[in-house]
Chain A
Amino acid sequence: MKKFYDVVIIGSGVVGSSIAYHLSEKRNKEILVMDKGFPLSGTSGSTQAWVWVHNKVPSWYGQLSMYSAELYPFLKKKIGDVEYKRTGGIAPFFDENDRLHALRLAEKQAEVGIEMKVLDREEVLEKEPNLSPDIVGATYSKIDGNVNPFRLVELFIKAARKNGVEFSFYNTIIGIEKTSGLFKISTLNGESYLADKVIIASGPWTKEVGKLLGIHIPVKLVRGQVIVTEPVAPLIRNTIAGVRQADNGEVLVGYSKENVGYDRRTTLDVIQETAKMAINYIPKLANANVVRCFSGIRVIPEDGFPIIGEIPSINNAYVAVMHSGITLSPLTGTLMTELINEGEASLDLSKLNLGRFEKTKSTTVF
């Protein structure tokens, strides 16, 4: 393995591997991706993997998600069948009072070009006859869908490797030092690598990796637990907020948020609540067999929005961390590549810059 690289990407999840792939397309850089585990052993391998747009707010964030969702069909052509399906997305509500909120959301999203509709009960049941008749309505958009996260990350890595990117797994970084303009990265097994640029794409471990560089990246961890059923006959066609059916017939259910740090256990209370939710949404699921459960730790920047771009205080250091890595990975890879190759991205990244947290800090201090 070579010891000097133009770019070292720290993290081989969906964000890191997407950046590696997009950055390698021009084949003009020596790139190394490092991971303390193996791809999919973290967040990217423990997700329902919706490619979800229509109720992301505020609308600029929805628009960002829409741009990324729009890159998926082409990505599928480039790296292979990641089982991306634009199924349409339905977010049901059970309280008639929510219709007003839904209509306001639709109005806001329309301003940035996100086409969404507010459906009444009959329209919901027409689209999805197996949904509960207790649903009074739903927001709906054609743009939403889902992807197979295992295939997505695997194919990002395969395509990147084909373009010459090197990968080093089960290799924990314990130090990053900047000396004479280069980053010296040392690992637990006693190796070191030199890099002109580093990109932190470390998901839930972003804060720890940031610390190695002496910077604070304000993110928090949230646990989500998901139930997986045995394969069943086609039950739903759309991605439902909380439920999706995979190609092989398995139904995945779950939308929970717990602040428990990096604790990936599944717990009976949340699993039982999730089973109840499954039956409330789709009564027929009462008779489905549950085969397994899983839990994943999602990372969320403190203000909820992605952090993508240069690290203001350190030349040639970059960070990409976000909650919706699956939805945003094609766009993140594209933008980071532009930023690194041209020095600027085709979208204004100022809202996403790490520096925004500094500003709020100083206003509270003074």
Chain B
Amino acid sequence: MDNSTIVCKCEEINIDEIETAIKMGANQFDDIKRLTRCGMGPCQAKTCMNLVRELISKATGRSPDEIAYPQKRMPIKVTRMSALAANQKSMNIVSVFKEAVTEMDSP
């Protein structure tokens, strides 16, 4: 593992970029995120959060417990805009009553 090893796959951020941000003075995940985009992609830091916390811990000499987790925000996973807007009729929601009466009427 050298400094070009990718830490954040979504945004292709490597160890070197994380260490540069730490050298600028950042010592929390979210502060590094805003400088590097690490953790901003589709997985929302699920892959990189502990890798980055470890790098911060190593560089600053603080215990990993002291390094905060990234802020969790909705949506937890990638979600279609129309679903968020809730203006879509879902074909999979059915009425129990209608289901019963249709079955009863069918030969």
Contacts and interface: CB of A to CB of B under 8 A. Distances in A.
Q: Which of A39, A41, A275 has the most CB of B within 10 A?
A: A275
Q: Which 10 A-B pairs have the closest CB atoms?
A: A275-B85, A275-B84, A38-B31, A286-B82, A40-B34, A276-B85, A289-B78, A45-B34, A169-B25, A288-B81
B40 to A, nearest CB: 7
A279 B85 CA distance: 8
A167 B25 contact: yes
Given A41-B34, A292-B44, A286 B85 contact: yes
A291 B85 contact: no
B86 interface: yes
Interface in A278-302: 278-279, 285-295
A154 B81 CA distance: 31
Nearest to B85: A275
A245 B48 CA distance: 26
Contact of B35 (A154, A264, A268, A290): A154
B81 A272 contact: no
21 contacts: A38-B26, A41-B28, A41-B30, A41-B31, A41-B34, A157-B24, A169-B25, A230-B78, A264-B71, A271-B84, A272-B86, A275-B86, A279-B81, A286-B85, A289-B42, A289-B78, A289-B79, A290-B75, A291-B44, A292-B75, A293-B75
Interface string B18-45: 0000001111101100110000111010
Q: Which of B26, B30, B34, B71 has the most CB of A within 10 A?
A: B34
A266 B81 CA distance: 16
Interface string A165-202: 00101100000000000000000000000000000000
Given A41-B28, A276-B85, A289-B81, 10 more contacts: A150-B34, A157-B24, A275-B82, A275-B86, A286-B81, A287-B82, A291-B78, A292-B44, A292-B73, A292-B75
B78 A266 contact: no
A22 to B, nearest CB: 21
Contacts of B104: none
A167 B59 CA distance: 19
B72 to A, nearest CB: 10
B80 interface: yes
A229 interface: yes
Per DSSP, chain A at the interface is mixed
Interface size, A (range): 35 or more
Interface in A234-282: 264, 266, 268, 271-272, 275-276, 278-279
Contacts of A45: 34
Contacts of B73: 266, 292-295
Per DSSP, chain B at the interface is loop
Q: Which of B34, B41, B78, B81 has the most CB of A within 10 A?
A: B81
Contacts of B91: none
Given A268-B74, A276-B87, A229 B81 contact: yes
A106 B86 CA distance: 37
B80 A289 contact: yes
Contacts of A278: 81, 85
A316 to B, nearest CB: 28
Interface residues of B, number: 26
A295 B40 CA distance: 14
Contacts of A40: 31, 34-35
B42 A230 contact: yes
B56 to A, nearest CB: 12
Contact of B27 (A170, A264, A289): A170
Contacts of B79: 289-290
A40 B31 CA distance: 7
Given A279-B81, A285-B81, A291 B30 contact: no
A289 B31 CA distance: 25
Contacts of A39: 31
Contact of B74 (A264, A266, A285): A266
Contacts of A293: 73-75
Contacts of A154: 24, 35
Interface string B89-102: 00000000000000
A278 B83 CA distance: 12
Given A292-B40, A292-B44, A279 B86 contact: no
Contacts of B42: 230, 289, 291
Nearest to A288: B81
